[in-house]
Amino acid sequence: MITIDEMEILLEEIIEEFPELLFKDLNGGIILLPEVKTNDISDSGDLFILGQYHRGGVMGRYITLYYGSFMRIYGNLSKKKLKEKLTKTLKHEFIHHLESMAGERHLEIEDRKYLENYLNNKKNNL
């Protein structure tokens, strides 16, 4: 398992590879928090949130990534594989950012469908 400081370094490497244009109006930047975050719909605490895109409020537009959640799900992966998962999550959150700027919500709809499928599967497995 890597430390949060090591993950911060991986995140900085990933960010350097992204085009500068993606960061337009992402005035709050990208924040790596230490906690484990679960989705409120998960009564058993088994649906982890890896990242979130935020728009509005005091900090404006920003992306939050959760080190603890990554470690719960991917803590046994190599640094290289973990970097791939971190990159995938960051790309997902940037799509939310870009869609928000364009007034679109396609990925939000896909995310909602994913959660609906999760709930349906939980019901069917009871």
Question: Of 87, 105, 84, 86, nearest to 96 (Cα)?
Answer: 105
Phi, psi of 20 (to 5 degrees): -60, -30
Q: Burial, 89: exposed, middle or buried (Cβ in 10 Å; 0-12, 13-18, 19+)? A: buried
Please count the residues of the chain.
126
pLDDT single digits (tens) 27-78: 999 999 999 999 988 877 889 999 999 998 888 999 999 999 999 999 999 9
40-68 per-residue burial string, b: 16 or more CB within 10 A, e: under 16: eeeeeeebbbbbbbbeeeeeebbbbbbbb
The CATH code of domain 4-124 reads 3.30.2010.20
Domain boundaries, the chain: 4-124
Neighbours of 29 (CB within 10 A): 13
Neighbours of 1 (CB within 10 A): 11
Residue bearing the bigger pLDDT, 123 or 11: 11
- pTM for the model: 0.92
Q: Is 24 left (phi over 0), alpha (psi -120 to 50) or beta?
A: beta
